[in-house]
Structure 1
Amino acid sequence: MNAKEYIESRLEGPKPEIGLILGSGLGVLADEIESPVVIPYKDIPGFPASTVAGHKGQLVIGTLEGRTVLAMQGRFHFYEGYSMDLVTKPVRVMQELGMEKLLVTNAAGGINEAFEAGNLMLITDHINQFGTNPLIGENQDEHGPRFPDMSEAYSRAWGSKAAAAARNRGITLREGVYVGTTGPSYETPAEVRMLRTLGGDAVGMSTVPEVVAAKHGGMEVLGISCISNMAAGILDQPLTHDEVMETTEKVKQDFLTLVKDIISQG
């Protein structure tokens, strides 16, 4: 039995229509899912374990704001030593299950000096600084074309709905370019200055591989970053993962409200 078949065997209702990837400290959204079917990653054929604090390591499938969703409560990272194939495997399984939409979230460091810790940022585009790409190797034609177009990696139409939802709720939603790096070390001040020169507004250690795989498979993507801290060199203070978790806890209510509104609109 493969991952798709195993997940299908556990479903108790309609197939999920929207996939959610919940980043560090943001897995609380999965606790809002009604009539949940919870599947630990360790039970799913071919899935590795999630080893990072703030990542529970399970799928939660059920109803959120009237839509059937499949949420990853924690993700897999390249820096954990997993291959790009494993990092993006959940996205491929979502595609095999028939999902056409993916909402991806992360905690990120702010590069744009107009940002503040606790801001939410709508991802308008990304820069791949991983030094590799999940599509390297033999192309799987059943997933998508050899050379997929990435001119609109993040859906402008879906992003416009998200921005409108934020305005209606009085939630400040920044917009910007996300830079994906390997980690696990945080960036140096010199690297942050470089990334700002390249056009980055926020930096993190995830998201880019999943979005590349999602677009390769024809999914519509929306991305939201929680600016959990300002990147190195902007404020005179060291960076820690504890700070990331503390900030995501503070912004939790705005995050929940916004994402639930986005889901309700489809």
Structure 2
Amino acid sequence: MMNDMKNAMAWQAVVPPSAPQSEESASPRPSNNSEEAAPKERIDVINDFLQGRVTARPLIGVICGSGLGGLSTCLSNQEVIKYEDIPQFPRSTVEGHAGELVFGDLDGIRVVCMRGRFHCYEGYSMQEVTLPVRVMYLLGIKYLLVTNAAGGLNPDFNVGDLMILNDHLNMPGLSGQHPLVGPNDTRFGGRFTPLSNCYDEKLQDLAYSVAEKLDLAHKVRRGVYCFVSGPTYETPTEARFLRLVGCDAVGMSTAPEAIVAAHCGLKTIGLSIITNKALFPGEEGAAACHEEVIETIQARQHDIEALVRYLIAAVGTQHHSRVV
């Protein structure tokens, strides 16, 4: 008995008391608890703050992938709100992600751009990664345009090609890492969400039509995007497996956001820029790296921005004419 008491006292002596939280340590941190990651109260706090700052309701939301933050430069009458100024909003930690919401106009259409997204490999839960989609929905968007950098799996794809997503494979979701796991918030949708038209077919056709008008059709593909958690790039065996099951490109984002957009009833279009070609077993070549991703995006930035700009204008025109 005395030995047990001595052991307990010794244990207490080596465990330091909890330090008081500083203002910095109290800021939002990545969380793996899906029930605590994005409760209704947190979404409401963020939404209430933004509703008090934004002067007009956006029609289209744009999520900018790595190095694609320049997509927001085409917007006029900009209102810029840094993530760090939004209470309880996550923080982006990846190079090439600025970390701000940009509200602005394009040809009379109100748009909100996320310059910097969140990833599971940063330590965020699926619910935190997709929290901004729900916030943008509450702000009024009807359409979501999601962009990303991806590795090419299809041997017919080349570095610099643009891929219009027509489907995805959610690898983490197959093992239970899914953004809709947990209590269902009925403000956004029902318990079970169909994904047969997750990437709106009419928007896919519209994007290709815009590419044709810009003389970019020869660089535009359609295909299946595979979402993996990262942060490691795929091994040759993984690349071969993903190609065998029908994937054309692979990346570390987009699918969770598109799933939550579908849950909210939003019409979604996904665009990938192929920044590298995956290596298959027995092949030789340079390993993928983030620097290569950014360099490829910078080389194709003009074409990507043109496609997105004219696509936004086309979506707005069709929305107002009740075609879409």
Give the alignment's TM-score, normalised by structure 1: 0.97
Cα deviation code 1:105-145 (max 9, x no counterpart): 00000000101111110000000012311001121111111
2:69 is the alignment partner of 1:6: no
Kindly state the Cα deviation for residue 64 of structure 1 after the two structures are TM-superposed.
2.0
- Give 1:173's aligned amino acid: V
Matches within 5 A, 1:180-259: 180-233=227-280, 236-259=285-308
Is residue 180–residue 206 contact of structure 1 (8 Å, CA) maintained in 2? yes
Distance (Å, rounded) in 2 between the aligned partners of 1:230 and 1:10: 43
Q: Deviations over 1:203-225 (max 9, x none)?
A: 00000110110000100000000
Matched with 2:202 is 157
Query: Quick check: 1:137 aligned with 2:182?
Result: yes
Matches of 1:65 and 1:102, distance apart in 2: 17
1 CA distance for matches of 2:106 and 2:248?
30
Q: Which runs of 4+ in 1 moved over 6 A?
A: none
Change (3 A) 1:235 1:164: farther
Which residue type is aligned with residue 184 of structure 2? N
Unaligned runs of 5+ in 2: 1-43, 316-324
Percent of counterpart pairs with the same letter? 45
Q: Which range moves more in the overlay, 169-178 or 1-10?
A: 1-10
CA separation in 2, counterparts of 1:224 and 1:23? 10
CA distance in 2, matches of 1:93, 1:239: 34
CA drift of 1:65 comes to 3.2
Q: Which has the larger radius of gyration?
A: 2
Q: Is the deviation greater in 189-198 or in 3-12?
A: 3-12
Return the structure number with greater helix share: 2
Q: Aligned with 1:182: secondary structure?
A: coil
Q: Show the 5 A alignment for 1:38-187.
A: 38-130=80-172, 131=175, 132-171=177-216, 172-187=219-234
Q: State the distance in 2 between where 1:257 and 1:197 align.
A: 33
For residues 85 and 120 of structure 2, the distance between their equivalents in structure 1, rounded to whole angstroms, comes to 21
Structure that is richer in strand per residue: 1
235 and 229 in structure 1: CA distance in 2 versus 1, 3 angstrom threshold? farther
Q: What is the TM-score with the length of structure 2 in the denominator?
A: 0.80
**How far does the alpha carbon of each residue in 1:174-208 deviate from its partner, in whole angstroms, 9 at most, with x for none?**
11000000000000000000000110000000001
Question: Which residue of structure 1 lines up, in the alignment, with residue 310 of structure 2?
Answer: 261
How far 1:235 sits from its partner (Å)? 5.5
Aligned residues of 1:118 and 1:247 also touching (Cα < 8 A):
yes
SS in 1 for 2:135: helix
